[in-house]
Amino acid sequence: MAKKNLLPLLVTIGDPNGIGPEIAVSLWKMKHSVKRPIALVGDFQVVLSALALKGISKEAVLIESPEEAKKACELGMIPVLSCGVNFKGKIRPGKICKEAGKASIAWVREATKLCLEKRASAVVTAPLCKESVEKTVPGFQGHTEFIGEMCGDSRPVLCLVHKDWVVAHVSTHVSLREACDRAKKERILKTATLLNDFLIRYKKVKTPCLGIAGLNPHAGEGGLFGTEEIEEIIPAIRELKKKKIKADGPFPGDVIFPKLRSGAFDGVVAMYHDQGHIVTKTLLFQLGQVKKTGGVNTTLGLPVIRTSVDHGTGFDIAWQGIADANSLKDALELAECLALD
């Protein structure tokens, strides 16, 4: 049962044509540690369809404001907040659809607004389809950048979290060529500082130990394979040390992540998207006959708490009732862990 006066966690249901709706309603079938009220943000009819798919007998109720979520949860119901945004299309599993993209990003926008207004404690996002959203939001890159711009930060920091495994990224949804250009001292300092602050809060450690990855093979090998380490990364590490932030590196990608896994670091700064994502998903995902996902994506440095699943829309298995909801459950629990109210 929800505790008194705690603001609700808002869970957006993601793309209606993907696995988002079914994993969102699956939260009501799973054991989790969350004590706050939980409300889904999305289309009521889509939620009802997902409940039927999963065989969940709990009653869903349409609410008008996040303040109504507590009472609905206490009555054992599933509160659904549409924020005046309805999905005007037809559910078409696995299909890229303008209407699905328009609705899914609108739910994220409205949930974020409620967090900025201090009417909700965090937004937890199910996956949306970037290609569908881009049809109505030109240049759309992803949740991280979209919410960052809403909060006045055009360069938010994406961080992957799973228990002791924490990886923050200097750049995310850009080409590899552009990612190399973004590996600058200023960006590295921002990413590492935010990661340090997050680790103090998340791991409850006074002085976290950060590992800083290199950009080039062998971390540049003294300039033989690139000079970014010498010109940008090492100066950033020196500056971090001056700020009393414990940082070591740069280490090659094939060295730093085994060190993180062994406990040598509390967290790692990766220089670009795939450097951090490939190894994380290799460790946490099972994609054989039994599909299991793990890990959480969170955005650092914003005035709102945002966590998310660390996987996509699962168009290939959408609306089959087999999608694994563990990543969303983990995202929900992390959101409550980080919430301050």
3-state helix, strand, coil split of the chain in percent (to 5) is 40, 15, 40
Residue matched to tokens 């459950």: 329
Predicted confidence band of residue 333 (pLDDT cuts 50, 70, 90): very high
Q: Give the span between the Cα atoms of 246 and 196, in whole angstroms.
A: 9
| pLDDT at position 125 | 96
Across 178-206, average pLDDT: 95
| pLDDT at position 131 | 95
Lowest mean pLDDT among 15-19, 83-87, 234-238, 242-246: 83-87
Query: Which CATH number applies to 9-155+302-338?
Result: 3.40.718.10
Predicted confidence band of residue 290 (pLDDT cuts 50, 70, 90): very low
| pLDDT at position 289 | 43
Residue 185 in tokens: 């001292």
Share of the chain above pLDDT 70, in %: 95
| pLDDT at position 156 | 86
Q: Give the span between the Cα atoms of 258 and 70, in whole angstroms.
A: 43
In the predicted model, is pLDDT for residue 291 greater than 60? no
Q: Domain 157-279: which CATH class? A: alpha beta
Across 119-126, average pLDDT: 96
Predicted confidence band of residue 1 (pLDDT cuts 50, 70, 90): very low
Fold match flag (9-155+302-338 vs 157-279): yes
How many C-alpha atoms does 303 have within 13 Å on its Cβ side? 12
In the predicted model, is pLDDT for residue 3 greater than 60? no
How many C-alpha atoms does 95 have within 13 Å on its Cβ side? 9
Across 275-287, average pLDDT: 83
Domain ranges of the chain: 9-155+302-338, 157-279
Q: Give the span between the Cα atoms of 12 and 41, in whole angstroms.
A: 5
Q: Give the span between the Cα atoms of 175 and 153, in whole angstroms.
A: 20
Q: Give the span between the Cα atoms of 137 and 134, in whole angstroms.
A: 5
Mean pLDDT of the chain, nearest integer: 92
In the predicted model, is pLDDT for residue 303 greater than 70? yes
Instruction: State phi, psi for 291 to the nearest 5 degrees.
Output: -90, 125
